[in-house]
Structure 1
Amino acid sequence: MGKGRRRFFRDLLLTLAVTVAVMLLQWQQPPWLERLEGIAYDIKLLHFTPPRPASPANIQIVDIDEKSLHEIGRWPWPRKHLAALIEQLTAYGAIVISFDMIFSEPQQNPVELIRPLLTAQDKALNLRLAQIQPLVDDDSRFAVQIATNDVVLACLFQHDPNLAQGQILLPRVQQLQTPGGHELHQFSGFNASIKKLNTAAQGQGFINAILDVDGIIRKAALLTEYRGRLYPSLALETFRVYSFAETIAPIWHREQEQLFLSGVKLGQDVLATDNRGQLLIPYKGPVKSYPYSSASDIIKGRIDDQRFDGAVVFVGTSSVGMADLRSTPVSLVYPGIEIHASVFDALTQPRQQVVQPHWWLGANMLQLLLCSLLLTVLLLEISPALMALSAALIFALAASFNIGLWYYFGIHLPVIPVLLLVVTLSLLAIARGFYRENIQRRQVKAIFDQYVPPAHINRLLEESDADAMAGERKELTVLFADIRDFTRLSESLSANELKKLLNAYFSPVTEQIFQHQGTIDKYVGDMVMAFWGAPLSDEEHSRHALDAAFAMLKVTETLSKAFAAKGWPEINIGIGLNSGEMNVGDMGSSFRRAYTVLGDAVNLGSRLEGLTKYYGLNLLVSEFTKAAAPQYHYQIIDKVRVKGKEHAITIYRPFPPDSEPGIINQLEAFNRVFSLYRHQAFDQALTALDEIIRVYDDKVLHDIYRQRLKYFLNHPPGENWDGAYTHTSK
């Protein structure tokens, strides 16, 4: 066999090997490939989606926004306000009302607070209270209003088989009649509204979000399984009620012993889904692409137009403090209620929906084989310049074909494996051509150097370890800091003033983080995230993080005064700190990378920052940070279960080591109150708390514990109570 033939077969084998490798990647779908595919999907959604026709339904969103919370009161509201909301919406002409919230516990009747104070001699008063009790029962009032309209309530499925809070209604979904496995999401527990409310509702749907590996919501599940039954999503159930359909009919196809869902049918319309009962959410645009109305305007009867006439109304919140904000392709801070509205909109226009068909994998495998064959033919025995031109042309054709399917036919196929194959084979061919032309003058290392990522060349050259930026798992401390009431603040400033304010805030805050050996992870809106202990190891990362946190609070106080002098609003921040094992490294995609941290410990730090507002404090740390930085003084704040965590943790408010005696006395006094609370000595704890309030004023925190103590005095938690409070918001 001649040298040229041997070279041809060697090149052909290499091409086949790369093609098979890419096909295996397409089959396995590793997380990094899903991240890249998510970016490609976002580009198509944002730049290549054809204009959608106006929705045939009048979709309205009622927003429990900052204005509503200011006028009506902080959440949760007494349910008489929600009853008034339904009553007014019905009067305005709304035909379906869907709540993106769960009422999992009955609201306490005021009469029940009075009864324990009465004696047997108070018969007349007892009789009068019995007459009054139904008149002030907000749950009954709410249920009566729910029954006056077509109202759909929400539930949240869980993976905890021991969780069964509220009531699950029997679904109006045709159930499986034949055995066979399927790929729908499956759950074993739930959190739903109480029976009194659910019984009055016309339907119930789940509100579980489907997150991609990068935390972005691109898909929505229409059906899921709970203990052998299929249940609809909130949007799907709302559409069923809206369309007067009796049942929802899943459309299955069988391959051997496996069942695959291809769509759902309501009446004569069929909406295609993927095998997991998911559809691609057709976001219309940025936040408020659907009309919003403030809940307080409706409750107070301030709507003087016909916007709700024949409307399907989704009731939810965009308030930052209520944590129903999601990351989507169109916005990193997107109200969850608008996601449900977008899915409902897709259900009203099934022929306009972009789908990922069940045959997508076979189609992509065929594309890979055709591209491999085309590249093999075109890239043989031509110059590197022509190779680059041909590769660019094939790359453009592959991308255009994918976008054309999306734009003209509403078909979504993954594109990254095809482009990856084109790029890889093209680079191999170009590198091979350069190598052959310069075999006498250049070394393999020189060719390799052309493809070292430019952003890391200096670091790779300086480090003796080539994997200096590679991922690793180590003990770190993470910090999240967020400006309080940023939405309200931003509305009071022009765009230019807001930019100047944020720049004036971030610069000195970042400087403090750097001065205390921290690493900036990212800025998201008004939030700054930093961590300690990487890339350079730091044995005292928790102490340095706490030093930075107090420095940030101090500089923020100075900035707030300076802002007030300029006529800008004063600012306050909340900071959450947590220490623990985290994944740290240079992560991302070929489009964008970042040296960042990931893991449960990071999520807990974010949750703690969110809880600072709840407790009325500006700094909270976990028990893990406290253990790693014993030099500080700590006031125990609570034992909590935060959203997304099963095990309770203790959280603390730190004070500097050189704190004044008065501060030490304050935290020790509250620690004694908490100890009595933990040991169920609620009467003594309430007395001790009253003594503290006379001297110290942590109003929000003290009010929280006063309410808890009074509640537990009348409703003892039982012997197995561990003192933990469960936070259901982020």
Structure 2
Amino acid sequence: MNQKKSIYTKLAILFAIILSFLSFNTIGSFLWSLEQSSIDFRFSLSNRELQNDDIVIIDIDTSSINRLSYWPWPRHYWAQAISQLNKYEAKLIGVDVLFDSNSLNPENDIAFSKALQETSNVVLSSRKHTETKANYEIETWSTPIPILSQYADVGFVNFPYDSDGYIRKAFSILDYQKDDISYSFDLLILQKYLQKPLSDILPNLNNRMLFLNKPFQLDQDYSYYVNFKLASSFTHIPFYLLIEDRLQDPSILKDKIVLFGATDPSLNDFFFTPKGYISGVELHAYSILTLLKESPLTYINPVLNSILALYLVFMIISTTRRSPALRGFFYTLFMLLLYSSVSIILFYYFNMIVMLVPFLILCLCAYVITIFLRFIKEETEKHRIHSIFKQYVSPEVVSTLIKNPESLELGGQKREVTIFFSDIRSFTSLSEKYPPEDIIIQLNEYLDAMTRCIFKWQGTLDKYVGDEIMAVWGSPIQQSDQALLSVFCAWEQLDILKDLQHKWKNEKKPLFDLGIGINTGQVIVGNIGSSTHKDFTVIGDPVNYAARLESCTRDFSSKDHICRFIISHTTYNKVKKYVEVKPLGKVSVKGKKESFPIYEVINVSIPKTYLST
């Protein structure tokens, strides 16, 4: 039953945490921005000093603007630049500059158009602009003028922004729900580089699969994660050096993808990325390189990710519930570090993104909730122990049980204990001779004094049966000296009785005597009773034998001698160094054939260590 309850508890906790996790979708952009920041952190740990030579960037930089005097440059400069690149056998040319209006001098546009007409390896750029109004959106496009676009492919240069303003992904297409699909600047460059038709690269828009040399999955918006790990930098050449044909090594352009783009900060073409604050043309270079190397970052299977995370959660719950709080904390910390390390390794070596922040929060929630429920359980257990035992054991024993609840087995177990019985002699005849209220007052005074003595000697009050007292040592907590404690308690009770008799004599109250029987043996200890009422008690033959010894005190009493205190042979063997006894022969338990020696206790020597305690 306890195991079932434990399993149900774990499942309940796990279910509650899963529900909490599912509600993450309603938390909004905050949690997602944390996850994106964790991706940036993984990028920072994956920096490699790799110079990429597949892509060369022609910079529209400060030196070129200063050299060529003004911006925007006349378009015959661009015609000259395209011709120079073709002369040096560049394989592909991408121009990240908008040519969406006519030049003041039409001859410049014609010169640029002729340069484009002489080659088929140029991709120009366009940009989509969306202005959101109260009830509608206005969508406009900046595209190259027709005299240019008719001789070159045109791809959009828009990137998706995350909620924190960073760019981590790149679009492959836009307006995929419309008849006129727009392809990205980067995808068109790759398509021309591979010399494959777009219909082969994106054969079916519905399955969002990009087919290069091998397929990879696109996201819902046909975007993909840019892999900024593929290069630390690219080769940069100032625009004016190309125009003036002053390149130190023109061969670096042969068979390369060459990109034109603004790197002068005053042109405002910089973006925040996991790589830092970089220019738009560098962003395109990383996006193209991701497609070229077929190395986009991809999330691992969500089901597998969830199974892994929930396994960690279950392990954290299981360990935290049964371990000390500090050990549970360090175990949780270890599991979080392990999960984080696995996510970093998969990211670094396999370009795989493991959902990190939500599951770290999930694991922390599992730890906190488990600790909280454990605290509630422990407090409930303390209250339960206190309520069960406060009337039966000393406050010191209750405190010990609360500090060490594992020492308490309420379900039932076999244990060696020492059982104590005491009974007032001739109580029935006394109750018939004196007023009931007086007898009750006197009985309560007697029981109170004897119970205090039991508690003093760390015994457990099992029950009152009329004027009879039953007490136990060795339960609910184990005591190595249980037999000694019970004998010392009984001997002190005889002294207490003498004091009470002297007091009652002065008060002219009736006097009575008592008999005590003590036995040590193996019994069943536990919470015993019906479904509506239970008592923590002991049962077994040793209990009956202790009661039999108490009744024997009457049998061994006479006019000349009153026998008040009898112990069994098992108890005597444990206390014989401290007692003087008189052998009384053998006595059997009622209904049993076997009999054992019993002893009347004549004197007890209590060591000073026990007296001081």
TM range (shorter): 0.5 to 0.7
- 2:478 — aligned with what? none
Report 1:122-521 matches (<5 A).
137-149=107-119, 150-159=121-130, 188-201=139-152, 203-225=153-175, 227-249=178-200, 259-261=206-208, 263-266=209-212, 268-284=213-229, 289-305=233-249, 306-331=251-276, 333-350=277-294, 352-356=295-299, 360-433=301-374
Report 1:9-24 matches (<5 A).
12-24=11-23
Residues in 1 aligned to 2:336 and 2:92: alpha-carbon distance in whole angstroms: 48
Residues in 1 aligned to 2:230 and 2:63: alpha-carbon distance in whole angstroms: 24
* 1:646-680 superposed Cα distances (whole Å, 9 cap, x missing partner): xxxxxxxxxxxxxxxxxxxxxxxxxxxxxxxxxxx
SS for the counterpart of 1:77 is: coil
Residues in 1 aligned to 2:23 and 2:311: alpha-carbon distance in whole angstroms: 16
Q: Is the 8 A contact 1:248 1:264 kept in 2?
A: no
Q: Is the 8 A contact 1:223 1:232 kept in 2?
A: yes
Residues in 1 aligned to 2:18 and 2:202: alpha-carbon distance in whole angstroms: 35
SS for the counterpart of 2:298 is: coil
Gaps in structure 2 of 5+ consecutive residues: 383-613
Give the C-alpha shift of residue 314 in structure 1.
Answer: 0.5
- 2:39 — aligned with what? 41
Q: Is the 8 A contact 1:61 1:314 kept in 2?
A: yes
SS for the counterpart of 1:156 is: strand
Change beyond 3 A, Cα 1:160–1:392: closer
Residues in 2 aligned to 1:239 and 1:8: alpha-carbon distance in whole angstroms: 55
Q: Is the 8 A contact 2:75 2:108 kept in 1?
A: yes
Q: Is the 8 A contact 1:85 1:298 kept in 2?
A: yes
Give the C-alpha shift of residue 38 in structure 1.
Answer: 0.9
Q: Is the 8 A contact 1:157 1:190 kept in 2?
A: yes
Q: Which of these residues, 71, 92, 104, is aligned with residue 108 of structure 1?
A: 104
SS for the counterpart of 2:188 is: helix
SS for the counterpart of 2:233 is: coil
Over the matched positions of the two proteins, sequence identity in percent amounts to: 22
SS for the counterpart of 1:76 is: coil
Residues in 2 aligned to 1:32 and 1:423: alpha-carbon distance in whole angstroms: 17
Q: Is the 8 A contact 1:23 1:365 kept in 2?
A: no
Give the C-alpha shift of residue 356 in structure 1.
Answer: 2.8
Q: Is the 8 A contact 1:94 1:310 kept in 2?
A: yes
Give the C-alpha shift of residue 435 in structure 1.
Answer: 6.5
Q: Is the 8 A contact 2:94 2:259 kept in 1?
A: yes
Residues in 2 aligned to 1:322 and 1:336: alpha-carbon distance in whole angstroms: 11
Residues in 2 aligned to 1:396 and 1:415: alpha-carbon distance in whole angstroms: 11
Residues in 2 aligned to 1:99 and 1:284: alpha-carbon distance in whole angstroms: 24
Change beyond 3 A, Cα 1:300–1:92: same
Residues in 2 aligned to 1:367 and 1:253: alpha-carbon distance in whole angstroms: 33
After superposition, the CA RMSD in angstroms is: 3.2
Change beyond 3 A, Cα 1:187–1:238: farther
Residues in 2 aligned to 1:94 and 1:142: alpha-carbon distance in whole angstroms: 18
Q: Is the 8 A contact 1:274 1:355 kept in 2?
A: no
Change beyond 3 A, Cα 1:277–1:187: farther
1:279 alignment partner AA: Y
Q: Is the 8 A contact 2:187 2:288 kept in 1?
A: yes
Bigger Rg, structure 1 or 2: 2
SS for the counterpart of 1:217 is: coil
- 1:70 — aligned with what? 66
Give the C-alpha shift of residue 410 in structure 1.
Answer: 2.6
1:348 alignment partner AA: L
1:30 and 2:1 aligned: no
Q: Is the 8 A contact 2:230 2:289 kept in 1?
A: no
Q: Is the 8 A contact 2:60 2:261 kept in 1?
A: yes
1:355 alignment partner AA: T
Residues in 1 aligned to 2:312 and 2:325: alpha-carbon distance in whole angstroms: 19
Change beyond 3 A, Cα 1:208–1:371: same
Q: Is the 8 A contact 1:12 1:376 kept in 2?
A: no
Give the C-alpha shift of residue 271 in structure 1.
Answer: 4.1
Residues in 1 aligned to 2:34 and 2:132: alpha-carbon distance in whole angstroms: 35
Residues in 2 aligned to 1:323 and 1:68: alpha-carbon distance in whole angstroms: 16
Q: Is the 8 A contact 2:173 2:183 kept in 1?
A: yes
Q: Is the 8 A contact 1:19 1:368 kept in 2?
A: no
2:313 alignment partner AA: S
Paired residues, number: 376
Residues in 1 aligned to 2:234 and 2:334: alpha-carbon distance in whole angstroms: 40
* 1:448-497 superposed Cα distances (whole Å, 9 cap, x missing partner): xxxxxxxxxxxxxxxxxxxxxxxxxxxxxxxxxxxxxxxxxxxxxxxxxx
Give the C-alpha shift of residue 12 in structure 1.
Answer: 4.9
Give the C-alpha shift of residue 88 in structure 1.
Answer: 1.9
- Normalised to the residue count of structure 1, the TM-score between the two structures is 0.47
Change beyond 3 A, Cα 1:161–1:379: closer
Q: Is the 8 A contact 2:43 2:229 kept in 1?
A: no
Give the C-alpha shift of residue 294 in structure 1.
Answer: 0.5
- 1:637 — aligned with what? none
Q: Is the 8 A contact 2:90 2:256 kept in 1?
A: yes
- 2:78 — aligned with what? 82
Residues in 2 aligned to 1:242 and 1:253: alpha-carbon distance in whole angstroms: 21
Change beyond 3 A, Cα 1:233–1:278: same
Residues in 1 aligned to 2:269 and 2:284: alpha-carbon distance in whole angstroms: 12
SS for the counterpart of 1:301 is: coil
- 2:95 — aligned with what? 99
**Larger mean Cα displacement after TM superposition, 425-434 or 274-283:** 425-434
Give the C-alpha shift of residue 309 in structure 1.
Answer: 1.8
Residues in 2 aligned to 1:12 and 1:402: alpha-carbon distance in whole angstroms: 26
Give the C-alpha shift of residue 9 in structure 1.
Answer: 5.3
Q: Is the 8 A contact 1:60 1:313 kept in 2?
A: yes
Q: Is the 8 A contact 1:23 1:368 kept in 2?
A: no
Give the C-alpha shift of residue 248 in structure 1.
Answer: 4.3
Q: Is the 8 A contact 2:51 2:234 kept in 1?
A: no
SS for the counterpart of 2:170 is: strand
Give the C-alpha shift of residue 250 in structure 1.
Answer: 5.3
Give the C-alpha shift of residue 234 in structure 1.
Answer: 0.8
Change beyond 3 A, Cα 1:210–1:14: same
1:236 alignment partner AA: L
* 1:141-164 superposed Cα distances (whole Å, 9 cap, x missing partner): 0111122331100111233699xx
Give the C-alpha shift of residue 48 in structure 1.
Answer: 3.7
Give the C-alpha shift of residue 77 in structure 1.
Answer: 1.4
Give the C-alpha shift of residue 241 in structure 1.
Answer: 1.3
SS for the counterpart of 1:159 is: strand
Residues in 1 aligned to 2:141 and 2:80: alpha-carbon distance in whole angstroms: 28
